[in-house]
Chain A
Amino acid sequence: MHRLRFRTKITLGMTFMLVFCGLGVGLILSAMSSSALLEEGRKRGMALTSGLAFRLAEPILAMDFLQMKNLIDNVNNQYDDIIYIFLTDTSANILSHTFSGGFPTDLLHVNGEGEKPQPVLLATERGLVYDFNVRVSLGKKNLGSVRLGLSRKDIDAQIRRQRLTSLFSTFGVVGLGIILALWFSRTVTFRLNRLRKSVEEIVQGNLDVQAGFSLEKYCWEIMECDRKECPAYGDVQRRCWYLAGTMCPNCCDKEYPFKMENCRQCPVFKHNFGDELQDLAEAFDAMAVTVKNHIEELTEREKTIARQQGLLKTILSVTPDFITLQDKNLTYTFAGKAFCDYFNLDEESIVGKTDADIFTEQQAEINTRENKEILATGLPMAKEITFKRAKEQKWFHVVKVPVYDQDGSIMGLLLTGRDISMLKKFQEQLIQSQKMEDLGRLAGGVAHEINTPLGIILGYTQLMMDDIEDEEILEGMRIIEKQTKVCRKIVADLLGFSRNSQAISETVDINESIQQVIKLVEHAFFMNRIKIIHALDEGIPPLTGDQERLKQVWLNLLNNAADVIGQDGEIHVQSKLNADEGRLIVSIADTGKGIAAEHLGKIFDPFFTTKQVGKGTGLGLSVSFGIIKDHGGKIFAVSPPPEEYLPKDFSKRENFGPGAVFVVELPLADGRKNEDSKDRKGEEEKAEEVSLFS
């Protein structure tokens, strides 16, 4: 039974009820009408007999047998269902009868005088017969009695017809009732099914449902309202009494169901209120819309949270800092990507673990001891630690802070670790630079002291060479002269390197200074088939600086270029004005063997050289760097040179190396002002480059 559909149940229930009621009512009515028909038949027989008895009084008194016979024959012939009539006097003499061929004397033994009630039912050869006995009397005087036999065939036939009619009527009514029950159950279950489908839709996640039916008239039509700001205006899915903040004058400022008391008096409610099912469907719709709104809000919040989570995750993933979170039991609840990557672990394999599971026993013991102390004292801790790996040594600045929950009790421990290996390196470089500066100052002092003896040695050597004729000795003297000159150059370079505050401030035409230097070396380079190709920007304004020292820079750079080329090559010299950024750029690109990437960071260090011993002092680029720095500019090298530092028609030949370019940027004299207001990007770039080459 419980498996049947609700609609079938209603239909079956109503059908059973109808059949039972119909059968019951049909049987009762049938029985009643049968009884009534029989009663009617009996009354009719009684009436006929009584009428006859009344009319027979006179003939009996007169003993008028003819009239008696006529009367009973008349009645007998008048109705087909009268089987017999006979008349007896008070002595039971048969005065007259309608039988022919003798009298059935059985009749005299039944339904005698005074038998009640009348009639008596007789079963005869001609079927059931009602026998009526009515006294013929005048006043109290009994004159005789009339007996009338009325066949029940007609009555029974009538009863059968009536029963058949009752049966068909009952079936008709029951059938009609079943059709109505079907219609009714369909109407009821249609709405229930709609509600059920809505529920299914909601279960499947579709909250955009409508279980209720559309209305003939909506509240704004009934109230002739045009307040579009009202939440009920235009809402065809929810009834206004389910909505808070409706703006009708009768609406109190309450929410459903507290506003219902007012709403029951409202014409809108009276017009649109339905039965319980409609009420349920509408309440369901209202619920669905409310839930939908809530879910949308939640979804929106979820998105926001997810976005924030994503951001946080991105930050935590991208940040090079180590971030971990441990609970009170020092179990990892979170580990940042940098941490995971460094220790080559997944976050999943860290979360839920302790230090003992991740680190060596010794390390874990140290960590645990520190952590427990922090959890116990609540005091944060900061320290620098180092990890030695096969390739490199890493330094980290580690901060551990306790994490408090809302109650103010410590719920865990946050660790952040920052890779400070670079900082350490810079610190080392700074120390080195400091040492180099001290060394330069020392070398300058020494060079000054050595310069005088060297001059004397050179002077005397040259004097002696004039007097010595022995070729062998002379050759030896020449070597001394040459080496002394080398020494003097080293000393001069040392002096130049260490001399910081001897800059002359004058107006310098950069292009002219470059051309002077080119002219100086052009011939010598040409001998080694090195070609200098220059493209100088004529629009470069003069700047303030030390021309000689700048020329020393150009000379250094050109000599370096020629040195790396050796033979057969090109040197491209360019000068460009970058008025927007307020500076000029001088680049000297060569087609030499190029600079190894690992050397790029060191080429401006003093005494760094890749040249053969005796060929270079390792001070040229350091000196140049210093000069450019003094001019407020910067110098850097790129290998191989980007296209922008080469002429447009540059074609690389077979014997050319990858090449390198040295770029010098100098601030313009009138651009210095603007330099302060330049975007920070420039500053950062400079800082980066300085830090790279310092």
Chain B
Amino acid sequence: MLITALFFVSCRESEEPVNISLDQRHEITFRPQLPAITYAYLPQYSHTESFQRHNRLVEYLSEQTGLPMRQVFPDTFDNYISMFGQGKIDISFSNPFIYVKLANRYGARAMARIVEADGRAEFRGQIIARKDNQEIQSIEDCRGKSWVAVDPSSAGGYLFPLGHFVDHGFTLTDFREVVFAGGRQENVILGVYAGLHDIGSIREGSLSVVKDKIDINQIKVVDSSIWYPGWVYAHSPRLSQEVVDKIRDAMLKLDYEHNPEHRQILDAAKFIGFVPSDDRDFDQVRALSKKVGLDLE
């Protein structure tokens, strides 16, 4: 027993420390990153989520085009827009309103639209409420209610539903309040789910994002807006057409159906493919902006 004990004791001290000095200090400088095409995803979710959705796609595009490519993470829509304006974003993946804004302000050019899981390259907004809220059965019942929207510049999460409300004769003053949830679809759903707000406006498809967090059966869709062109990839006017074409080609080359690797990439990004697009596809949006008094300049 004593031998065992001594064995135990002796074993413990087997860690040999590495001698270093903490007092020998040197000033260090940040080595600048290598130039690369920057790719940004309009902040919809946390950076982590954004990263996990688009990291593979970015890597794929980089690989396919042979161009260095890096994802950047703007914090807010404004930050996004300003970064685009500053040239810190070369490839923008945004909703149509932001795209129109970028196009108008900084000459952004649409290059492709995504095909959503439902097979459409268009999307719409949804007006949601708690299923047990008997007061709200139709869009008309939304009058005088508390409305939580994603962001004033959110397409599916605000503008499309707003256009829909306008089409039904609503103005913003018809609501008891209109609250924005900081640009996060999840916050809108959670706000409605928690009963903080009577109605919420989200982009169609967002409910599935939170299905692991809440019981989405408790949420009902009161009404949906008309279809608008979906999320769009645009490029900075500073990119050469050659680079743009390479990137577009790489995008269009992705085959969700037949290529498992592509499927993985697209599954992560939560869409199933690309269709070519140009600026004309967004005139409908421009019309909506006028309708709702949105300044996209």
Interface residues of chain A, those whose CB is within 8 Å of chain B, are: 20-21, 23-28, 30-32, 34-35, 38, 57-58, 61-64, 83-84, 91, 93-95, 99, 101-107, 109-111, 120-126, 128-129, 138-139, 141, 149
Q: Mark B36-61, 1 if CB is under 8 A from A, else 0.
A: 00000000001110111001000000
On whether A104 and B51 interact (CB within 8 A), knowing A61-B73, A91-B31, A93-B31, the answer reads no
On whether A125 and B47 interact (CB within 8 A), knowing A27-B5, A27-B8, the answer reads no
In the complex the two chains form, what is the Cα distance from A139 to B51 in whole Å? 10
Chain A residues near B132 (CB-CB < 8 A): none
Do B2 and A125 have beta carbons less than 8 Å apart? no
Chain B residues near A20 (CB-CB < 8 A): 1-2
Do A31 and B51 have beta carbons less than 8 Å apart? no
Do B17 and A122 have beta carbons less than 8 Å apart? yes
| CB proximity of A162 to chain B, nearest CB, Å | 12
Q: Which of A32, A61, A103 contacts B25 (CB 8 A)?
A: A103
Do A62 and B8 have beta carbons less than 8 Å apart? no
In the complex the two chains form, what is the Cα distance from A139 to B21 in whole Å? 35
Do A123 and B19 have beta carbons less than 8 Å apart? yes
Chain A residues near B17 (CB-CB < 8 A): 121-123, 128
- A selection of 6 A-B contacts at a CB cut-off of 8 Å is A58-B47, A61-B48, A62-B47, A104-B20, A106-B20, A122-B18
Q: Which of A27, A103, A107, A111 contacts B6 (CB 8 A)?
A: A27
Do A103 and B52 have beta carbons less than 8 Å apart? no
Do B4 and A28 have beta carbons less than 8 Å apart? yes
Do B47 and A99 have beta carbons less than 8 Å apart? no
| CB proximity of A566 to chain B, nearest CB, Å | 128
| CB proximity of B281 to chain A, nearest CB, Å | 30
Chain B residues near A93 (CB-CB < 8 A): 30-31
Give the 3 A-B CB pairs with smallest separation, nearest first.
A102-B25, A27-B5, A24-B1
Chain A residues near B26 (CB-CB < 8 A): 102-105
Task: Write the chain B residue with the least CB distance to A127.
Answer: B17
Do A24 and B12 have beta carbons less than 8 Å apart? no
In the complex the two chains form, what is the Cα distance from A128 to B18 in whole Å? 9
Do A84 and B30 have beta carbons less than 8 Å apart? no
Question: Would you call B257 an interface residue if the criterion is a C-beta within 8 Å of the partner chain's C-beta atoms?
Answer: no
Task: Write the chain B residue with the least CB distance to A58.
Answer: B47
Chain A residues near B48 (CB-CB < 8 A): 57-58, 61, 138
In the complex the two chains form, what is the Cα distance from A679 to B19 in whole Å? 136
Chain B residues near A125 (CB-CB < 8 A): 21-23
Do B22 and A83 have beta carbons less than 8 Å apart? yes
Do A104 and B55 have beta carbons less than 8 Å apart? no
Interface residues of chain B, those whose CB is within 8 Å of chain A, are: 1-2, 4-6, 8-9, 11-12, 15-28, 30-31, 33, 46-48, 50-52, 55, 71-75
| CB proximity of A328 to chain B, nearest CB, Å | 78
| CB proximity of A128 to chain B, nearest CB, Å | 6
Secondary structure dominating the interface of A: mixed
Chain B residues near A102 (CB-CB < 8 A): 25-28
On whether A61 and B47 interact (CB within 8 A), knowing A121-B18, A124-B22, the answer reads yes
In the complex the two chains form, what is the Cα distance from A122 to B19 in whole Å? 6
Chain A residues near B5 (CB-CB < 8 A): 23-28, 31
Task: Write the chain B residue with the least CB distance to A126.
Answer: B22
Chain A residues near B31 (CB-CB < 8 A): 91, 93
Do B20 and A124 have beta carbons less than 8 Å apart? yes
On whether A58 and B46 interact (CB within 8 A), knowing A24-B5, A31-B9, A104-B23, the answer reads yes
| CB proximity of A125 to chain B, nearest CB, Å | 5
Considering residues A32, A106, A126, which has the most beta carbons from chain B within 10 angstroms of its beta carbon?
Answer: A106
| CB proximity of A329 to chain B, nearest CB, Å | 78
Do A138 and B75 have beta carbons less than 8 Å apart? no
Chain A residues near B25 (CB-CB < 8 A): 99, 101-105
Do B21 and A121 have beta carbons less than 8 Å apart? no
| CB proximity of B151 to chain A, nearest CB, Å | 18
In the complex the two chains form, what is the Cα distance from A78 to B12 in whole Å? 29
Given A32-B8, A107-B20, 4 more pairs with CB closer than 8 A: A31-B8, A128-B17, A129-B22, A138-B48
Task: Write the chain B residue with the least CB distance to A35.
Answer: B12
In the complex the two chains form, what is the Cα distance from A103 to B24 in whole Å? 8
In the complex the two chains form, what is the Cα distance from A91 to B21 in whole Å? 23
Do B51 and A138 have beta carbons less than 8 Å apart? yes
In the complex the two chains form, what is the Cα distance from A124 to B22 in whole Å? 6
Do A139 and B73 have beta carbons less than 8 Å apart? no
In the complex the two chains form, what is the Cα distance from A451 to B123 in whole Å? 211
| CB proximity of A65 to chain B, nearest CB, Å | 9
| CB proximity of A565 to chain B, nearest CB, Å | 125
In the complex the two chains form, what is the Cα distance from A365 to B125 in whole Å? 164
Q: Which of A30, A91, A101 contacts B9 (CB 8 A)?
A: A30
Task: Write the chain B residue with the least CB distance to A124.
Answer: B22
In the complex the two chains form, what is the Cα distance from A285 to B19 in whole Å? 77
On whether A106 and B21 interact (CB within 8 A), knowing A30-B9, A62-B73, A121-B16, the answer reads yes
Chain B residues near A84 (CB-CB < 8 A): 22
In the complex the two chains form, what is the Cα distance from A25 to B8 in whole Å? 11
Do A25 and B51 have beta carbons less than 8 Å apart? no
In the complex the two chains form, what is the Cα distance from A120 to B16 in whole Å? 9
Chain A residues near B51 (CB-CB < 8 A): 57, 61, 138, 141
| CB proximity of B244 to chain A, nearest CB, Å | 25
Do B20 and A138 have beta carbons less than 8 Å apart? no
In the complex the two chains form, what is the Cα distance from A110 to B18 in whole Å? 8
Q: Which of B2, B28, B55 contacts A24 (CB 8 A)?
A: B2
| CB proximity of A69 to chain B, nearest CB, Å | 13
Do B18 and A104 have beta carbons less than 8 Å apart? no
| CB proximity of B154 to chain A, nearest CB, Å | 20
Do B24 and A104 have beta carbons less than 8 Å apart? yes
Chain B residues near A26 (CB-CB < 8 A): 5
In the complex the two chains form, what is the Cα distance from A84 to B22 in whole Å? 10
